[in-house]
Amino acid sequence: MSYLVNGKAFSEVPRPGQCLRTFLRDIGWFGVKKGCDAGDCGACTVWLDDEPVHSCLIPAFRAEGRRVTTIEGLASNGELHPMQRAFMNAAGFQCGFCTAGMIMTAASLNEEDRKDLPRVMKGNLCRCTGYHAIEDAIHGVKSIGEDLPGKACGADLLAPAAEGVVTGTARYTLDTKVEGLLHLKLLRSPHAHARILAIRKDAALAVPGVRAVYTWEDVPRRLYTSATHDDYHADPNDMYMLDNVARFVGQRVAAVVAESEGAAEEGCRRLEVDYQVLPAVFDPEEAMKDGAPVIQDKSAESRIRRPGQNILLEIHGDVGDVEKGFAEADVIHEGTYTTHRVQHAHLETHCSITWLDEKHRLHVRTSSQTPHITKQKLCYLFDLYPDSVRVFCERVGGGFGGKQEVLTEDICAFATLKTGRPVKLEFTREEQFIASTTRHPMRVNMKVGARRDGTLTAFQMRVVSNTGAYGNHGGETLYAACGEAVAVYRCPNKKVDGYTVYTNMVPSGAIRGYGMTQTIFAVECAMDELARNLKIDPFELRRINMVKPGDQMIAESAAATDTEFGSYGLDQCLDLVQQAMVRGNGVKRPEGADWLEGKGIAISMHGAVPPTEHRSEARLGLGDDGYYHLAIGTAEFGNGTTTVHRQIVASVLGSTASRVRVIQSDTDSTGYDTGAFASAGTVVAGNAVRLASDALRERILDFASKTYGVTRDSCRLEHDAVTYSNTRVPLADFFAAARKQGRQLEVVRKAYGTPRSVTFQVQGFRIAVNRITGEIAILQSVHGADGGVIINPMQCRAQVEGAIAQAIGWTLFEKMVFDDGGRMINPTFRNYRIPAFADAPRRTEVYFADTNDAFGPLGAKSMSEAPIYPIAPALANALTDATGIRFFDSSLTPDRIFQRIFESSQPSKA
């Protein structure tokens, strides 16, 4: 037998049931990725005899004697394939996990195919980009700008990982061969609520290759939370690594460790578990009632406010007097808005590899947004000294908040500590759906009142959030939900009540939008209703009521905060979007009398830094190669912070971004960082980078002045040299001179996420909806963003486009559906459809406000998370404009649109 891959012959033999994808990885071709392992996402696309195929669906034995080409084999004679070059030129990726498959597909297309990209690219899913940059790449559009000395800020520079991504050589978490690796698989609960009476391991342990089985009796009986925040008090300690109570379908019951994945799977199937099934509750309103099953019967140390009522946290606050406010109102809108359960769907599933080195130090290679906090958590769980644990990330294949959570590292590390062997845990796509985290479904009762002139007189909101079986981010997301969505409007009388409630559902967690997409949906729909009732233009209604510089930002309390207007661009965003929508784009609705047309807008405000403690440390130095070396703890998962950090350094030091090398997300070689979430990468870590850059510049000039005996003023730092009085010292020589004197040209600076500024978004849609089929066609999509000074406009625009596509997916297509027993019925990409090429509006007009922030680095503000907020309500408002019917639920699939139109056409029985 012989397999020919990228021109090389391999004599390895695949297992009988092995698919080509894992066989190729086994023999070292790590460019072949797994997004779904079921043929839906295309990340594993390779060529078989020059024809693209999804290698996860191809029995490996069928490749025998045929030519296999992976992304690593696409370049020839050291020259990139034109499509690889094109993906670089257009920056056609963010996290890059889908890119190999994307390029292998795109590179196989002929001229005719390229005319119908929605069809030919539909088998390749990208969760990050929204497909605009991918379309540009395939059509040969060049978006990247030049990297000129001192001109880095504001330049469209390419991510430093680009070449590695397009050649398949960028290493992600599992792209490594580890000798002696054990595989861990988890047996998961089939019941939504059950006590585990007994687990018999014998049959599992008898499976050849099974090395160990762990149950709740084997792991430390120590409460913790999967959420990762610097201050762990922010989240409830309500879970055990393995527990004797299962609280949702999919919860870990036991771990099997074996020499192969197959043996570990078989071990899981052979475990015999006796369950005592307990009553379960899935609806949070039901869960709060007397007599409901108590899900988390914990003591005060878990920090659950009312465990007996299943209430993790409640918030009650008011300013002014809402009753008085409603009495003054000419128009009142009341409505109950609901948001459904959706997921991140990053293409790289959760995964870790853990091992011990010869000094018995624990190494954790993981797909995480928070390596430093994950390390702390592992130290806590296993009573380890901080210096005996290292957590690091290679490139991370997407996160969207899902990786601000410890879901694999704990049990994987436990198995390594027990066995002394390297252990790998890789989630399947199904586990991703049933056993990671989701957005919090929320029910929001809105009541708003306004005077005839549009001025708000009263604003009342009651939020019930479903955190599922565990509390993790349930508390913090409720604070977020009750924050900026309320504070963006001025109103003397406000009242907010919020509850986060346990149910026997899969846990909710951190996800782009963090509690706010849900309430912003409710608030912005309610504001639209006021505008419609008052016959005031929706832009105008916002202008009348939105917060402005000089106002205090007040949600449910008028207490002083650290949030300030470091800059303000909401007014500009509204103007930009309104102008673009008035201008139009010439796209007409589909022909036929059944197509109705409507416009809708929504706005949002977002704290530029998360409210809980946030800090980062940057270490920056000049290296012997004459390059700047930056070490920063934050992780890169497609958010583009690495690109931005290089641009900040280059900008301050008058150099080019290409002269800045970055080490990141490794607790051994970078200083403490609270994590890459809430868009903190640009603002907090970016501020640390800026402070370090300023300090290094001073240090270099000081040193030059002393060494060369000239005044400071006569020394200049140029992009690749230090100059003084007609002498030019290349940076490498300058480094050598310093070294000779025993001096290190390195600085460390820390930054803190306070005071906090705010960013703004405005989204406008013009849509057509078919009143018969319920289909929606997006005719125009306009987004106004206030991100302060935009350090990399191309990249920032791409973040906005990606957020819009993700929100469109959540609103128009995606929905996690569960049966009566709390079991998810669609845990695959074919049944939980994230937007494919054809589904995303690839031509959103993105406009940036011209602002300069007082707190962010170089005047920048955060801009990765926030564009997601106004999308769903803007769509819903456009739908209302088209049909005259209000849609109160955030899931707007054609069948639900039809249902609502149908219901509304029935004569009222009243």
Partner 1 sequence: MDLNTIGEIARPKRLDKAIDWRDGDAWLAGGTWLFSEQQPHLRRLIDLEGLEWQSLVVNDRGLEIGATCRIAQLAALDAPADWTAAPVIGQCCRSFLSSWKIWKTASVGGNVCMSLPAGPMISLTTALEGKCTILQRDGTERQVAVEKFVTGNNKNVLKPGELLRRIELPASALRKRTSFRRMSLTHLGRSAALLVGTLSPQDGVFMLTVSAATDRPHRLEFPGVPAADELAAKLKQEIPQFFDDVHGTPAYRKHITFHFAEEIRRELSGNKP
Q: Provide the edge-to-edge strand list for the sheet that holds 331-339.
A: 311-319, 494-502, 456-468, 442-450, 331-339
H or E stretch covering 710: none
Q: Pattern 424-443, binding to partner 1, x per CB under 8 A?
A: ----x---------------
* C-alpha separations of 297 from 311, 452, 475 in Å: 11, 50, 17
The residue within the footprint of partner 1, chosen from 13, 27, 28, 61 (CB under 8 A), is 61
The residue within the footprint of partner 1, chosen from 51, 202, 301, 562 (CB under 8 A), is 51
Q: Provide the edge-to-edge strand list for the sheet that holds 245-246.
A: 245-246, 194-200, 272-277
In terms of CB distance, is 281 or 836 closer to partner 1?
836
Closest distance of CB 673 from partner 1, Å: 35
Per the structure block, which two tokens stand in for 455?
């001025």
Query: 3-state DSSP: the chain helix, strand, coil percent, rounded to 5?
Result: 30, 25, 45
Which residues have CB under 8 Å from 505's CB, separation 6+? 192, 248, 282, 341, 466, 468, 469, 818, 822
Q: What is the C-alpha separation between 730 and 746, in angstroms, rounded?
A: 17
Per the structure block, which two tokens stand in for 161?
């990982």
Torsions phi, psi of 246, nearest 5? -95, 130
In terms of CB distance, is 733 or 895 closer to partner 1?
895
In terms of CB distance, is 382 or 832 closer to partner 1?
832
17-46 residues in contact with partner 1 (CB under 8 A) are 17-19, 21-22, 37-40, 42, 45
Closest distance of CB 815 from partner 1, Å: 7
Q: What angle do CA 391, 806, 41 make, to 5 degrees?
A: 75
In terms of CB distance, is 122 or 142 closer to partner 1?
122
H or E stretch covering 151: none
The residue within the footprint of partner 1, chosen from 163, 218, 259, 261 (CB under 8 A), is 261
Contact 260, 268 (CB under 8 A): no
H or E stretch covering 847: strand 845-848
Q: Taking CB under 8 A as the rule, does residue 260 contact partner 1?
A: yes
Closest distance of CB 875 from partner 1, Å: 15
In terms of CB distance, is 109 or 663 closer to partner 1?
109
Closest distance of CB 836 from partner 1, Å: 7
Please report, in angstroms and rounded to a whole number, the separation of the first and last CA atoms in the chain. Answer: 77
Per the structure block, which two tokens stand in for 319?
């300013």
Tell the residue number behind the tokens 């020919």, with chain if given: 4
Tell the residue number behind the tokens 């469109």, with chain if given: 808
CA 791 to chain CA centroid, Å, is 20
| Residue 119: exposure state from Cβ atoms within 10 A (0-12, 13-18, ≥19) | exposed
The residue within the footprint of partner 1, chosen from 492, 793, 821, 894 (CB under 8 A), is 894
Closest distance of CB 819 from partner 1, Å: 12
Q: With CB under 8 A as the contact rule, which of the stretches 10-18, 67-75, 409-417, 792-800 interacts with partner 1? A: 10-18
Among residues 686, 635, 675, 616, which one has the least CA distance to residue 376?
Answer: 675
**SS3 sequence of 569-581:** CHHHHHHHHHHHH
- What type of residue sits at position 351? C
Q: Taking CB under 8 A as the rule, does residue 107 contact partner 1?
A: no
In terms of CB distance, is 565 or 837 closer to partner 1?
837
The residue within the footprint of partner 1, chosen from 2, 8, 62, 727 (CB under 8 A), is 62
Q: What is the C-alpha separation between 738 and 717, in angstroms, rounded?
A: 15
Closest distance of CB 55 from partner 1, Å: 10
680-709 residues in contact with partner 1 (CB under 8 A) are none
Cβ neighbour number for residue 427 with a 10 Å cutoff: 20
Q: Pattern 216-255, binding to partner 1, x per CB under 8 A?
A: ----------------------------------------
Q: Taking CB under 8 A as the rule, does residue 13 contact partner 1?
A: no
The residue within the footprint of partner 1, chosen from 2, 744, 899, 904 (CB under 8 A), is 899
Q: With CB under 8 A as the contact rule, which of the stretches 122-130, 345-353, 436-444, 529-537 interacts with partner 1? A: 122-130
793-822 residues in contact with partner 1 (CB under 8 A) are 812-813, 815, 817
In terms of CB distance, is 49 or 537 closer to partner 1?
49
Q: Pattern 847-886, binding to partner 1, x per CB under 8 A?
A: ----------------------------------------
Q: Taking CB under 8 A as the rule, does residue 269 contact partner 1?
A: yes
The residue within the footprint of partner 1, chosen from 832, 855, 869, 887 (CB under 8 A), is 832
The residue within the footprint of partner 1, chosen from 772, 850, 884, 904 (CB under 8 A), is 772
Q: Taking CB under 8 A as the rule, does residue 836 contact partner 1?
A: yes
The residue within the footprint of partner 1, chosen from 2, 12, 15, 336 (CB under 8 A), is 15
Q: What is the C-alpha separation between 68 and 114, in angstroms, rounded?
A: 23
Closest distance of CB 56 from partner 1, Å: 6
In terms of CB distance, is 40 or 136 closer to partner 1?
40
The residue within the footprint of partner 1, chosen from 537, 838, 843, 850 (CB under 8 A), is 838
Q: Pattern 732-771, binding to partner 1, x per CB under 8 A?
A: ----------------------------------------
Closest distance of CB 433 from partner 1, Å: 12
Q: What is the C-alpha separation between 705 and 433, in angstroms, rounded?
A: 60
Closest distance of CB 254 from partner 1, Å: 17
Contact 581, 780 (CB under 8 A): yes
325-364 residues in contact with partner 1 (CB under 8 A) are none
- Which DSSP state fits 753? -
Cβ neighbour number for residue 97 with a 10 Å cutoff: 31
In terms of CB distance, is 39 or 96 closer to partner 1?
39
Beta-sheet pairing, 252-258 with 182-188: antiparallel
Per the structure block, which two tokens stand in for 291?
């007599």
In terms of CB distance, is 719 or 896 closer to partner 1?
896
Among residues 438, 413, 377, which one has the least CA distance to residue 225?
Answer: 377
Q: Which residues pair with 770 in a beta bridge?
A: 595
Contact 106, 140 (CB under 8 A): no
Q: With CB under 8 A as the contact rule, which of the stretches 117-125, 234-242, 506-514, 611-619 interacts with partner 1? A: 117-125
Q: What is the C-alpha separation between 637 and 346, in angstroms, rounded?
A: 10
Contact 302, 238 (CB under 8 A): yes
In terms of CB distance, is 203 or 278 closer to partner 1?
203
Closest distance of CB 447 from partner 1, Å: 31
Give the interface with partner 1 as residue ranges (CB under 8 A).
15-19, 21-22, 37-40, 42, 45, 51-54, 56-59, 61-62, 105, 118-120, 122-124, 260-262, 265-266, 269, 428, 772-775, 812-813, 815, 817, 825-826, 830-833, 835-836, 838-839, 893-896, 898-899, 902
